[in-house]
Amino acid sequence: MEQPNDKIPVFASWTKWYVFVLLFNALLIILFKLFTNYFA
Amino acid sequence: MSRADWIVLIVTLAAIIAWGLYKSRTTRNLDGYFLSNRTMPWWLVLLSIMGTQASAITFLSAPGQAYTDGMRFVQYYFGLPLAMVVLSVTFLPIFHKLKIYTAYEYLESRFDVKTRTLTSFLFLLQRGVSTGISIYAPAIILSSLLGWNIYWTNIFMGGLLIIYTVTGGARAVAYTQQLQLIIIFVGMFIAAYMVVHLLPEGIGFVDALKVSGRLGKLNVITTGTNGQGFNWNDRYNIWSGIIGGFFLQLSYFGTDQSQVGRYLTAKNLTESRLGLLMNGVVKVPMQFLILLIGTLVFAFYQFNAAPLFFNKVQINKVAQSASADSLKIMQRQYDALSVQKKTAVTQWVNDYKAGVDTRASEQELKSINGQTEQVRTGFKGLLAKEGIAGDNNDTNYIFLRFVVDYLPEGLVGLLIAVIFLAAWGSIAAALNSLASCTVIDIHKKFIRKECTEQVDYSTSRWYTFAWGIFSIIVAMFATNMGSLIEAVNVLGSLFYGVILGVFLVAFYVRPVKGHAVFVSAVIIELGIILLFWKSSLGFLWLNVVGALGVVVLSLLLQPLMGKKKL
């Protein structure tokens, strides 16, 4: 169970973690699209 | 296999078993056996959920899938990061707060016993069968390629891991998965290096990608549209991946005990969340790299003669049938095309490097590849014509056939060990979760409610052992199922949507009570089976239909059923 003083690593809040995970993957999809276009 | 390969294989497997036994010390109660006393750090949770999801089929089929269909399979995982976020926000806090052993326990407090038992039963049904397939899938490939007896291969594939899984429970599973993943990543990295190293002189990594790309294998992003609009039967595209994949991964990680049991071992909610969120960061790139190996193998076989069919056993069967003469003609055609292909691809690379117009050589290369595919299709026609039993889809054999035919002594043993370890990681977690569900949701609920910690511990070990034996028996009975990675995913998709629907109602639709959700789940499950049987809808969509179907139907039924007792 999470304690009130449990420190969240790296980011200041979990919301920032969620945004990071989603943006990271959105960026990956964009890179994959560029990859597909470059090699196709 | 050479003596060096056998030594590498046996030493690696023995080391894992020894490591598992060494890490088996745990308190002799349910908390220790099924949840490792909730002491795991986030990185061990991460490795454990990755090791549970990535089975041997993942490492065998994914490169083959890229070889035959291109890299678009990676889109299947696009919904995973969003699922990790939703789980972290919604599911995890509740699971940790209630200190549950299985995900289905929560459903009793929210709904009733029958809903908990139904979802637990659906999980046991699909996970029990799919664990059997997880043993059989790599076993049949190894036995075909190396001439091993399939029954003994099944027993070694599914049996040896039982030693440490029964002894050490969740703790042994997590610590062995950690070591297994390290060996797997090292093995796959070496395999990728060797594919590039074995390319002809002057042909490098980028050249290989260029060849694969021009032949349509680097199609990472596809939209699923054709001349008539969106194709609902198309299995892998960005939309089915993000939407269908989201529902599938949410269900898999949120309601499948083989995964829930991994992150419940974390020492607190923060460690659980971090494990899942980091999985959302590393999973898609990892799958991308595994698929990339398949496209490199494809490029390698442009410069080298590929087998007419990667499953040698099936070729031998046709050679002994009435179609033997047809096979000889096909083999001659195929060999001639392989020589032409090598010339054409060399010409294309020379043109491309010289910066001259590549259209003519590219057209020639594509034409020859088209012809080789026609010959391969002709061979599959022979298999069908002769009614030859066995796996008539060689996708899963491609990568390992390359390993066996081209990698040096020692490395073959290492890559075969990788397949064993990948299988063990997911099977061990599955056995642990099957046992926890049987003990917590069935045995202690209906058979023997009150007993000592020692008896609980002993019962849990016996159930783990029994599920291990059951899975091996299923593997023995498993028959031809086409592309095996899809067989497991399709099987999951038949049940995951409905189970997820029940959990979504539990979390988000407070007015709906137990009777309405139970009846809805039964009706929609039957509907999903009917839909799968009668239509060709891409299987990822079954998760969406199942989950939303339960939510909508239970909302409609709730006013009608009210407080009626079933």
Q: Domain segments of chain B: what residues?
A: 3-301+401-477, 312-390
A6 found inside a domain: no
A28 found inside a domain: yes
B266: helix, coil or strand? Answer: strand
CB contact under 8 A, A29 and B221: yes
Residue from B34, B21, B315 nearest B172 by CA: B21
CB contact under 8 A, B88 and A14: yes
Mean pLDDT of B363-392: 88
- Kindly state the tokens that stand for B78: 């696009």
Q: Which of residues 188-227 of B touch A (CB under 8 A)?
A: 209-210, 212-214, 216, 218-221
Residue from B80, B321, B342 nearest A28 by CA: B80
Phi, psi values for residue B266, rounded to 5°: -65, 150
Note the pLDDT tens digit of each residue in B203-212: 999 999 999 9
CB contact under 8 A, B85 and A18: yes
Give residue B564's pLDDT: 54
Whether B495 has a pLDDT exceeding 80, the answer reads yes
Q: Which amino acid is at B314?
A: Q
Name, in order, each residue with C-beta under 8 angstroms of B353's C-beta and a sequence gap of 6 or more: B207
d(CA B156, CA B134): 13
B231: helix, coil or strand? Answer: coil
Q: Which amino acid is at B357?
A: D
A1 found inside a domain: no
Helix (H), strand (E) at residue B225: strand B225-226
Q: Which residues of A touch B (CB under 8 A)?
A: 1-3, 6-9, 14, 17-18, 21-22, 24-25, 28-29, 32-33, 35-36, 38-40
Chain B hits for A3, CB-CB cut-off 8 Å, are: 268
Superfamily of domain B3-301+401-477: Sodium/glucose cotransporter (1.20.1730.10)
CB contact under 8 A, B221 and A36: yes
- Kindly state the tokens that stand for B13: 């497997």
Q: Which residue is closest to A18 within chain B, CA to CA?
A: B85
CA distances in angstroms from B82 to B85, B262, B435, listed in the order given: 5, 19, 29
Q: How confident is the prediction for chain B on average, in pLDDT?
A: 88
Mean pLDDT of B272-296: 94
| Percent of chain B whose pLDDT exceeds 70 | 97
Least confident of B452-456, B460-464, B480-484: B480-484
Per the model's pLDDT, the better-predicted residue between B232 and B238 turns out to be B238
Extract long-range pairs of B439-446: CB within 8 Å, 24+ residues apart.
Answer: B439/B30, B439/B34, B439/B463, B440/B30, B440/B34, B440/B101, B440/B102, B440/B105, B441/B102, B441/B104, B441/B105, B441/B116, B441/B117, B441/B120, B442/B117, B442/B120, B445/B113, B445/B117
Query: Chain A closest CA to B332's CA: distance in Å?
Result: 31
Whether B468 has a pLDDT exceeding 90, the answer reads yes
Residue from B266, B301, B284, B265 nearest B83 by CA: B284
Q: Is B283 on the interface with A (CB under 8 A)?
A: no
CB contact under 8 A, A21 and B78: no
Give residue B563's pLDDT: 58
Helix pair angle (B269-303, B324-354), 10° resolution: 100
d(CA B244, CA B393): 25
Q: Which domain holds residue A30?
A: 11-40
Mean pLDDT of B267-284: 94
The DSSP result for B33-59, as a single string, is HHHGGG-B-HHHHHHHHHHHH--HHHH
Give residue B368's pLDDT: 93
Which ipTM score applies to this complex? 0.90
The number of folded domains in chain A is: 1
Query: Chain B closest CA to A27's CA: distance in Å?
Result: 11
Mean pLDDT of B418-432: 91
Q: Which residue is closest to B85 within chain A, CA to CA?
A: A18
Whether B102 has a pLDDT exceeding 50, the answer reads yes
A40 found inside a domain: yes
From the list B85, B213, B220, the residue facing A22 with the nearest CB is: B85
Give residue B454's pLDDT: 84
HSE-up (13 A, CA, CB side) for residue B406 = 23
CB contact under 8 A, A21 and B212: no
Chain B hits for A32, CB-CB cut-off 8 Å, are: 74, 220-221, 288
